[in-house]
Chain A
Amino acid sequence: MELKIPRVLLLLLLVAVAALISLSSAASPTADDLVAELETLRSQSPSGVIHFDDSSVARFLTSAPLPRPYSLLVFFGASKPDHHLRRLRSEFALVSSSFAAHHASSRRVFFCDLEYQESESSFSLFGVTSLPDIRHVGPQHRSLRDSDRMDQSDFSGLAASMAQFVEAKTSLPVGPIVRPSLISPRQIAFLAVALLISAPFLIKRILEGKTMLHDRRLWMGLTVSVYFLGVAGLMHNIIHKIPMYVKDRKDPNRLIFFVKGFGMQLGAEGFAVGFLYTIVGLIVAFATHVLVRMRNEAVQRGFLLAAMLVVFWAVRKVIYLHNWKTGYTVHTFWPTRWR
């Protein structure tokens, strides 16, 4: 995202630098030149991720003398990334900037990204067939196909696990991941002042009554939704950063919403079951508190029968899903002679 604007500039600069160097010395650039060049490029990008294309791949990777005095982490992206890819790209930038913050000077690890539409041939050089893909090209890697591929499992933990990968490959600590806070300190101060000024008015309103706070239905709705989010395992998804669904590895067009295993779940799965948990209770409450007040007996009968069908279906569904997911089979304990 942040690369959109400076990309043109960068390309210009790249061409300019390349031209300058080729003018000044016709021979291949020395290792130090390459490092200096990369460092210049890096300083141009706010997150420290250098945008590569086919020519820069050729310059810094394929034609550079071995061993290269640096290692590169290459992110393979597309010009129109989907949500997941965009998120990974920003996490990648985060790792890069955290790395930059931790190693103020003399770091020979560079983060760069490639776009499929621009540099198709480089993709085939690396042997990248599917996205997302992140590669580490060490100083010793002769063929780009041999570069270390980041495992699919390392994407799931996002920045933290990417950092682990980087640490494992480069044996340099990335340092703490510095996430930019959502609101700046100035905004915090503004909010605090606004709150302080409005506090007396708010308190007055509350004391007078008849605010949102006194609306029982609001509290009821909040309570039920907290319950819904709780049983849906939202905290699990937040803490472990679980996606809503994953793509099937064998068939990328198929989406997987439910996974087996007691200790894990996908986001959509949790919400689906949380919904089933909640809907049953809501129906029971509806029957006991709303339906009884209706005057028309036929309506009552119809609603009640429909409600019972839904409840029965929901409970059965959850029982079935639980057995499928955990493999537990609940059984009764009758006396042996009854069997």
Chain B
Amino acid sequence: MAATAETKGPSTLRNAFGGVLGVFILLLIGVLAFSIRLFSVIKYESVIHEFDPYFNYRVTQYLTKNGIYDFWNWFDDRTWYPLGRVIGGTVYPGLTLTAGSMWWLLNSLNIPLSVETVCVFTAPIFSANAAWATFLLTKEVKGTGAGLTAAVLLAMVPSYISRSVAGSYDNEAVAIFALVFTFYLYIKTLNTGSLFYATLNALSYFYMVCSWGGYTFIINLIPMHVLLCILTGRYSSRLYIAYAPLVVLGTLLASLVPVVGFNAVMTSEHFASFLVFIIIHVVAFIYYIKGILSPKMFKVAMTLVVTIGLAVSCAVIAIFIALVASSPTKGWSGRSLSLLDPTYASKYIPIIASVSEHQPPTWPSYFMDINVLAFLVPAGIIACFLPLSDASSFVVLYLVTSVYFSGVMVRLMLVLAPAACIMSGIALSEAFDVFTRSIKLQLPNILDNPPDAGDMNSVSSIAQNDASKIDSHATTKSETVSKERPSRKNRKKEKEKEKENVEKVPSHSENKKRLLVLPLEASAVAILLLIVLGGFYVVHCVWAAAEAYSAPSIVLTSYAHDGLHVFDDFREAYAWLRHNTDVDDKVASWWDYGYQTTAMANRTVIVDNNTWNNTHIATVGTAMSSPEKAAWEIFNSLDVKYVLVVFGGLVGYPSDDINKFLWMVRIGGGVFPHIREPDYLRDGQYRIDAQATPTMLNCLMYKLSYYRFVETDGKAFDRVRRTEIGKKYFKLTHFEEVFTTHHWMVRIYKLKPPKNRIRGKLKKPKSSSKSSSSNHKRAGNTQKNPWQ
């Protein structure tokens, strides 16, 4: 502020110092972003988390082992048996390629890290990158101060932490960086009109397309912004340069990614960009014509063009609508449709609606995930409107759309988080600016002058104090640096002159500035409150990172009165499968556990978390909902040897298969109508106690989950459903238990061989198989678990 009044020397020095300090702060922000995500490694271990990351890890392993060409052509026969899956053509390769090349680079530098380690730490590294990208973006919008604040906020925003703790090796980890960076390059191009940045923007967009399906957000948001700019009369050649190369290059590059391919030009998600591409050309043409014609001629030409143009565009739009309307989903994918029409998924796609992260959030989710930023965002919005520039209007648009999307799906809170950070960064920075300015301009005034000093006097003293303060500030820092500076005396003279300058020239502006302050003591309290607010944010983020979002969900822990309990049942079960079954055996489970089974047990699965084939999933769902014999037939027809169920009733693990079972029924019933949901519900209520329906008590899922459960405590009390189960004593006819983990969380059953079913011989082999299996089973009847 006062820097305008200074001569060049100190101000450049001050800028240099500010620059160095800024870089240092940015470095610290990077360290903060990285280290706050290490709680999972410290509290648990360096392990890949959850479900999808295991698949990504497996793909990365394949990439590092076999090279990029094999990866590109990889047909995986270990999932979706007997269909298999073309991995190279159906994954977003960005994350895998990033981690793969990081691993390759480290190895060629003779730093021998394992692939798993690189995968575990990819997300924290990219969070630091995302924080830096946020700094750049916000700097383009509102300057360095806001940029740094936004970067700090993003480094620890809980919503982003939840997706990027060490070990959560998923697309979003890389994609948020790519998203913010693409936005930054767009804004940078818009502000500079440079083709260099435009090209970089297209490349960054390409990286985003490689990384995440959420790239459609970019390719719809940027056209929306361009359209908004045109509509509000802000068209400029910079806008054209920012947009046209992005569409052309970006679309060409996007169609190079196999999983996108011709979707980049054929699906409705991308049509908005082409429509705006046409519009911007029309507008550019109009502006060009306007430039070369006289106003009168222009009017004539305009009416001519408008009449013809309207007719042509009406025809084109009519054809276009007819084309789109002829496809059943209007050319939109299910996920996009459920965003536009929020009630769509719950009506038509149970497989999307079944995932808990696709539910709409409630207000506590906002407080949990963006915390105090939720309070600051409105202030940021208003700051962006005063004054409204191209850049700030883009940020506002980003915020509005992401708020809406996050309202539809809790998962998209992740897209909101950067926008909220940018807005809050702007708000906080402006608030600090006002309050510190109030203190800075008034504090010397109070200290030096008695309050009865005249107005003019105070103004000059402010200016003087200000200038001298900055000057002394600069001197202390620069004394060691510069030797050719004039002597102290000379400088004093200079300063005197300077002061005169200050008094003469900018007294007007100072006068104005004098008015833009708030009362001193109130400002001090306000600053204190803002710091407390920021402190609360830090505490909340650290707490969220440590307690809420760091659990790998593959290893579970719980605190009881007698100390910490660790439940490592999943890895126990997968290790058992790996060591005790044949390499080509097929394992059936609900799709949630498909990725983990292939990655950790290296066994073929029927369905996995890539839910590309609804019928196949419905088949497994039907088998799980059918009585034993029918289920055996379904599984046998799929060559399944083992069935794996997850059961939490003994230890109280709530996300087990019994709780997911209604979705199996729904999805199964969606394809095979003989499975009817009401058959499993008593008066519309899902229950497994004595009131449960006979269909429920006889279905495979119930039997596999509760087989021998009564032997644990004698009462068969389910700790998740908090009730005694309905049917306690039963035998399995077509399956036999082969393994149950320490806490009974995973139970593995083997399909009995078909010869057992031959009539007449039924008795004998049954008893023999029973005796053989009962060797294991009855060995420790008094024990909770024979494998202990």
Query: In the bound complex, how far is the Cα of B516 from the Cα of A285, in angstroms?
Result: 14
CB pair B407 A233 closer than 8 Å:
yes
A285 touches B360 (CB 8 A): no
B376 and A330 form a contact (CB under 8 A)? no
Q: When chains A and B are docked, how far (Å) is the Cα of A287 from the Cα of B527?
A: 12
> Contact between B346 and A227 (Cβ–Cβ < 8 Å)?
no
The B-contacting residues of A in range 21-45, CB under 8 angstroms, are none
Confirm or deny: A263 has a beta carbon within 8 angstroms of a beta carbon on chain B. yes
Evaluate whether A168 and B683 lie within 8 angstroms (CB atoms) in the complex, with A304-B519, A330-B539 already known: yes
Q: Check B364 against A326 for contact (C-beta < 8 Å).
A: yes
Interface centre among B346, B385, B438 (most CB of A within 10 A): B385
A62 at the B interface (CB under 8 A): no
Complex Cα distance, B400 from A230, in Å, reads: 9
Q: How near does chain A come to B15, taking the closest CB pair, in angstroms?
A: 25
Greatest chain A CB density within 10 A among B232, B382, B396, B515 is at B382
Check A151 against B385 for contact (C-beta < 8 Å): no
Residues 481-538 (chain B) with a chain A CB within 8 angstroms: 515-519, 522-523, 525-526, 529, 533, 536
- Measured CB to CB, the closest approach of chain B to A162, in angstroms, equals 10
> Interface with A: B165-173, B365-373, B597-605, B709-717, which one?
B365-373
* Cβ-based interface call for A293 (8 A): yes
- Chain B residues 321 to 369 lying within 8 A of chain A, measured CB to CB, are 342-343, 346, 359-368
Among B231, B361, B362, B408, the one with the most A-chain Cβ atoms within 10 Å of its Cβ is B362
Give the distance to chain A from B756, nearest Cβ to Cβ, in Å: 35
Q: Are B684 and A165 in contact (CB under 8 A)?
A: yes
Which of A47-55, A66-74, A109-117, A214-222 lines the interface with chain B? A214-222
The residues of B that contact A228 with a CB separation of less than 8 Å are: 378
Q: Is the CB of A288 within 8 A of B343?
A: no
> In the assembled complex, which residues on chain B have CB atoms less than 8 Å from the CB atom of A280?
375-376, 378
Contact B427 A220 (CB under 8 A): no
CB contact under 8 A between A297 and B364, given known A224-B378, A231-B403: no
Determine the main DSSP class of B at the interface with A: helix
Q: Which residues of A contact B244 (CB under 8 A)?
A: none
Q: What's the nearest-Cβ distance from chain B to residue A131, in Å?
A: 20
> B376 is contacted by which of A165, A229, A234, A284 (Cβ under 8 Å)?
A284
Any chain A CB within 8 A of the CB of B658? no
Contact of B382 among A224, A240, A311 (CB under 8 A): A224
- A282 CA to B431 CA in the complex, in Å? 12
A304 to B530 CA separation, bound complex (whole angstroms):
13
Interface residue range, chain B: 35 or more
**Chain A contact patch, size range:** 35 or more
How near does chain B come to A196, taking the closest CB pair, in angstroms? 8
Per the bound structure, the CA–CA distance linking A232 and B364 in Å amounts to 10
Check: B430 CB closer than 8 A to any chain A CB. Answer: yes
CB of B396 within 8 A of CB of A171, answer no
Q: With A and B bound together, what is the CA distance between A235 and B365 in angstroms?
A: 13
Q: Is the CB of A322 within 8 A of B683?
A: no
A164 to B676, CA, bound (A): 11
Cβ A282 vs Cβ B363 within 8 A: no
Residue B295 lies at the interface, judged by CB distance under 8 Å to chain A: no
With A315-B372, A325-B364 known, 12 other A-B pairs at CB within 8 A are A151-B685, A230-B407, A236-B359, A262-B364, A281-B382, A282-B379, A282-B382, A288-B431, A297-B519, A308-B529, A322-B364, A330-B544
Can you list 7 residue pairs at the A/B interface with Cβ under 8 Å? A168-B681, A227-B381, A236-B360, A288-B427, A289-B382, A311-B375, A332-B542
Show the binding face of A for B, using Cβ within 8 Å.
148, 151, 153-154, 161, 164-165, 167-168, 171, 200, 206-207, 209, 213-214, 216, 219-220, 223-224, 226-236, 238-240, 262-265, 269-270, 273-274, 277-278, 280-282, 284-285, 287-289, 291-293, 295, 297, 300-301, 304-305, 308, 311-312, 314-315, 318-319, 322, 325-326, 328, 330-333
